[in-house]
Structure 1
Amino acid sequence: MILLYGIKNCDTIKKARASLEKNQRPYQFWDYRAQGLTAELLDSFCQQLGWQALLNTRGTTYRALPDSDKADMTEQKAKQLMLAQPALIKRPVLLHQGRYLLGFSEASYQDFFTAVAAN
Protein backbone atom coordinates (compact mmCIF):
# COMPACT_ATOMS: atom_id res chain seq x y z
CA MET A 1 0.00 0.00 0.00
CA ILE A 2 1.21 3.48 -0.87
CA LEU A 3 0.80 6.08 1.86
CA LEU A 4 0.82 9.78 0.97
CA TYR A 5 1.19 12.25 3.83
CA GLY A 6 0.47 15.95 3.64
CA ILE A 7 -2.19 18.63 3.77
CA LYS A 8 -5.25 18.32 1.56
CA ASN A 9 -5.31 21.86 0.14
CA CYS A 10 -1.58 21.94 -0.77
CA ASP A 11 -0.99 22.38 -4.52
CA THR A 12 1.93 19.94 -4.50
CA ILE A 13 -0.23 17.33 -2.78
CA LYS A 14 -2.88 17.82 -5.45
CA LYS A 15 -0.26 17.21 -8.16
CA ALA A 16 1.08 14.12 -6.40
CA ARG A 17 -2.41 12.69 -5.97
CA ALA A 18 -3.25 13.36 -9.62
CA SER A 19 -0.04 11.61 -10.68
CA LEU A 20 -0.77 8.55 -8.55
CA GLU A 21 -4.31 8.37 -9.90
CA LYS A 22 -3.20 8.90 -13.52
CA ASN A 23 -0.69 6.06 -13.16
CA GLN A 24 -3.29 3.85 -11.44
CA ARG A 25 -1.35 3.54 -8.21
CA PRO A 26 -3.81 2.99 -5.36
CA TYR A 27 -2.86 4.97 -2.29
CA GLN A 28 -4.12 6.10 1.07
CA PHE A 29 -3.90 9.80 1.91
CA TRP A 30 -3.11 10.98 5.43
CA ASP A 31 -3.96 14.64 6.10
CA TYR A 32 -1.95 16.00 9.04
CA ARG A 33 -4.56 18.62 9.82
CA ALA A 34 -7.58 16.32 9.70
CA GLN A 35 -6.04 13.10 11.03
CA GLY A 36 -3.25 14.49 13.17
CA LEU A 37 0.46 13.97 13.43
CA THR A 38 2.04 11.94 16.20
CA ALA A 39 5.56 12.33 17.55
CA GLU A 40 6.22 8.72 16.53
CA LEU A 41 5.23 9.33 12.92
CA LEU A 42 7.32 12.51 12.78
CA ASP A 43 10.27 10.61 14.30
CA SER A 44 10.03 7.98 11.56
CA PHE A 45 10.02 10.71 8.90
CA CYS A 46 13.06 12.38 10.49
CA GLN A 47 14.96 9.10 10.78
CA GLN A 48 14.38 8.24 7.13
CA LEU A 49 14.54 11.67 5.50
CA GLY A 50 16.43 13.89 7.95
CA TRP A 51 14.87 16.71 9.91
CA GLN A 52 16.67 19.40 7.88
CA ALA A 53 15.13 18.13 4.63
CA LEU A 54 11.73 17.73 6.27
CA LEU A 55 11.54 21.28 7.67
CA ASN A 56 10.02 23.47 4.95
CA THR A 57 11.91 26.74 5.33
CA ARG A 58 10.50 28.14 2.06
CA GLY A 59 6.84 28.18 3.06
CA THR A 60 4.77 31.00 4.45
CA THR A 61 4.30 29.21 7.78
CA TYR A 62 8.07 29.16 8.37
CA ARG A 63 8.51 32.76 7.26
CA ALA A 64 5.78 33.81 9.69
CA LEU A 65 7.59 32.27 12.67
CA PRO A 66 9.24 34.66 15.11
CA ASP A 67 12.99 35.00 14.57
CA SER A 68 13.52 33.45 18.00
CA ASP A 69 11.89 30.22 16.77
CA LYS A 70 14.10 30.15 13.68
CA ALA A 71 17.33 30.90 15.54
CA ASP A 72 19.66 28.10 16.64
CA MET A 73 17.54 25.38 15.04
CA THR A 74 18.11 21.90 16.39
CA GLU A 75 16.40 18.62 15.62
CA GLN A 76 14.40 18.77 18.85
CA LYS A 77 13.30 22.35 18.23
CA ALA A 78 12.37 21.56 14.63
CA LYS A 79 10.31 18.55 15.71
CA GLN A 80 8.43 20.61 18.29
CA LEU A 81 7.64 23.24 15.67
CA MET A 82 6.53 20.65 13.09
CA LEU A 83 4.28 18.91 15.62
CA ALA A 84 2.69 22.22 16.58
CA GLN A 85 2.37 23.38 12.96
CA PRO A 86 2.35 20.48 10.46
CA ALA A 87 2.39 22.96 7.56
CA LEU A 88 6.10 23.29 8.36
CA ILE A 89 6.67 19.79 6.97
CA LYS A 90 7.79 19.68 3.37
CA ARG A 91 5.19 17.91 1.27
CA PRO A 92 4.40 15.32 0.24
CA VAL A 93 5.94 12.45 2.15
CA LEU A 94 5.44 9.21 0.26
CA LEU A 95 5.88 5.79 1.87
CA HIS A 96 5.87 2.58 -0.15
CA GLN A 97 7.30 -0.81 0.82
CA GLY A 98 9.37 0.70 3.62
CA ARG A 99 10.90 3.40 1.43
CA TYR A 100 10.33 7.11 1.76
CA LEU A 101 10.33 9.91 -0.81
CA LEU A 102 10.08 13.60 0.02
CA GLY A 103 8.63 16.14 -2.38
CA PHE A 104 7.06 15.63 -5.76
CA SER A 105 7.97 15.65 -9.41
CA GLU A 106 6.76 13.30 -12.11
CA ALA A 107 10.33 12.17 -12.74
CA SER A 108 11.12 11.50 -9.07
CA TYR A 109 7.92 9.46 -8.67
CA GLN A 110 8.69 7.44 -11.80
CA ASP A 111 12.25 6.76 -10.60
CA PHE A 112 11.04 5.91 -7.10
CA PHE A 113 8.46 3.35 -8.22
CA THR A 114 10.88 1.83 -10.73
CA ALA A 115 13.51 1.41 -7.98
CA VAL A 116 11.01 -0.09 -5.52
CA ALA A 117 9.76 -2.53 -8.16
CA ALA A 118 13.33 -3.62 -8.95
CA ASN A 119 13.94 -4.72 -5.34
Structure 2
Amino acid sequence: MAPQELPLIDYDNVPVGSLQHRIRSLDGEQIQQLLDYERVHNNRVQVTEVLENRLQELREGATPSGGTQEAQPVEAEDTPGGSPVEPSGSPEPMHPPRHGIGGLPGKPKADRPRKQ
Protein backbone atom coordinates (compact mmCIF):
# COMPACT_ATOMS: atom_id res chain seq x y z
CA MET A 1 0.00 0.00 0.00
CA ALA A 2 1.35 3.42 -0.94
CA PRO A 3 1.31 6.30 1.57
CA GLN A 4 -1.00 8.22 -0.81
CA GLU A 5 -3.69 5.56 -0.28
CA LEU A 6 -3.72 5.93 3.52
CA PRO A 7 -6.66 7.63 5.26
CA LEU A 8 -4.35 10.10 6.99
CA ILE A 9 -2.64 12.67 4.75
CA ASP A 10 1.14 12.80 5.10
CA TYR A 11 1.00 9.94 7.61
CA ASP A 12 4.74 9.21 7.60
CA ASN A 13 5.50 12.78 8.72
CA VAL A 14 2.84 13.14 11.43
CA PRO A 15 4.55 13.69 14.82
CA VAL A 16 3.74 10.95 17.32
CA GLY A 17 2.43 13.55 19.77
CA SER A 18 -0.29 14.75 17.39
CA LEU A 19 -1.17 11.34 15.94
CA GLN A 20 -3.61 10.55 18.74
CA HIS A 21 -5.62 13.66 17.89
CA ARG A 22 -5.39 13.25 14.12
CA ILE A 23 -6.86 9.72 14.15
CA ARG A 24 -9.96 10.64 16.20
CA SER A 25 -12.09 11.06 13.08
CA LEU A 26 -11.09 7.70 11.57
CA ASP A 27 -13.19 4.55 11.86
CA GLY A 28 -11.94 1.10 12.88
CA GLU A 29 -11.21 -0.03 9.33
CA GLN A 30 -9.09 3.06 8.65
CA ILE A 31 -7.20 2.67 11.94
CA GLN A 32 -6.52 -0.97 11.07
CA GLN A 33 -5.25 0.13 7.66
CA LEU A 34 -2.79 2.55 9.34
CA LEU A 35 -1.75 -0.12 11.83
CA ASP A 36 -1.04 -2.66 9.10
CA TYR A 37 0.98 -0.07 7.16
CA GLU A 38 2.91 0.95 10.29
CA ARG A 39 3.84 -2.62 11.16
CA VAL A 40 5.19 -3.28 7.65
CA HIS A 41 7.00 0.02 7.04
CA ASN A 42 8.13 1.80 10.21
CA ASN A 43 7.06 -0.39 13.14
CA ARG A 44 7.44 2.43 15.69
CA VAL A 45 6.41 1.16 19.12
CA GLN A 46 4.74 4.41 20.25
CA VAL A 47 2.75 4.70 17.03
CA THR A 48 1.53 1.10 17.10
CA GLU A 49 0.47 1.58 20.74
CA VAL A 50 -1.55 4.70 19.88
CA LEU A 51 -3.23 2.97 16.95
CA GLU A 52 -3.94 -0.22 18.91
CA ASN A 53 -5.41 1.78 21.81
CA ARG A 54 -7.69 3.76 19.49
CA LEU A 55 -8.78 0.57 17.74
CA GLN A 56 -9.65 -0.94 21.13
CA GLU A 57 -11.62 2.20 22.08
CA LEU A 58 -13.63 1.89 18.86
CA ARG A 59 -14.31 -1.81 19.53
CA GLU A 60 -15.56 -0.88 23.00
CA GLY A 61 -18.11 1.56 21.59
CA ALA A 62 -16.29 4.84 21.01
CA THR A 63 -17.37 6.70 17.89
CA PRO A 64 -15.17 8.66 15.48
CA SER A 65 -15.32 12.40 16.00
CA GLY A 66 -16.39 14.74 13.25
CA GLY A 67 -13.90 16.14 10.81
CA THR A 68 -12.07 15.07 7.72
CA GLN A 69 -8.50 14.21 6.79
CA GLU A 70 -8.78 15.43 3.20
CA ALA A 71 -7.21 18.86 3.65
CA GLN A 72 -3.46 19.27 3.54
CA PRO A 73 -1.85 20.56 6.75
CA VAL A 74 -1.54 24.33 6.89
CA GLU A 75 1.98 25.64 6.43
CA ALA A 76 3.15 28.93 7.88
CA GLU A 77 3.68 31.59 5.25
CA ASP A 78 6.49 34.13 5.01
CA THR A 79 5.60 37.75 5.57
CA PRO A 80 5.85 39.80 2.36
CA GLY A 81 8.12 42.45 3.84
CA GLY A 82 10.28 40.21 5.97
CA SER A 83 10.56 40.59 9.72
CA PRO A 84 9.94 44.04 11.25
CA VAL A 85 12.43 43.18 14.00
CA GLU A 86 15.95 44.54 13.53
CA PRO A 87 19.02 42.83 15.02
CA SER A 88 20.01 46.16 16.60
CA GLY A 89 16.99 45.82 18.90
CA SER A 90 18.38 42.69 20.52
CA PRO A 91 19.45 43.01 24.14
CA GLU A 92 23.10 42.79 25.10
CA PRO A 93 24.11 39.30 26.18
CA MET A 94 24.03 38.85 29.94
CA HIS A 95 26.28 36.43 31.73
CA PRO A 96 25.36 35.07 35.14
CA PRO A 97 27.41 36.33 38.07
CA ARG A 98 30.43 34.37 39.21
CA HIS A 99 29.97 32.22 42.26
CA GLY A 100 30.94 33.84 45.53
CA ILE A 101 31.37 37.41 44.22
CA GLY A 102 28.19 39.43 44.63
CA GLY A 103 27.45 42.41 42.42
CA LEU A 104 30.04 41.62 39.75
CA PRO A 105 28.76 40.56 36.33
CA GLY A 106 30.20 37.38 34.98
CA LYS A 107 32.40 37.24 31.90
CA PRO A 108 32.69 34.46 29.38
CA LYS A 109 36.00 32.64 29.51
CA ALA A 110 37.01 33.90 26.08
CA ASP A 111 37.11 37.50 27.37
CA ARG A 112 39.33 36.76 30.37
CA PRO A 113 43.00 37.56 30.15
CA ARG A 114 45.16 34.47 30.03
CA LYS A 115 47.31 33.65 33.01
CA GLN A 116 50.93 32.98 32.27
Same fold (TM over 0.5): no
Larger Rg: 2
TM-score by length of 2: 0.24
Structure with greater proportional helix content: 1
TM-score by length of 1: 0.24
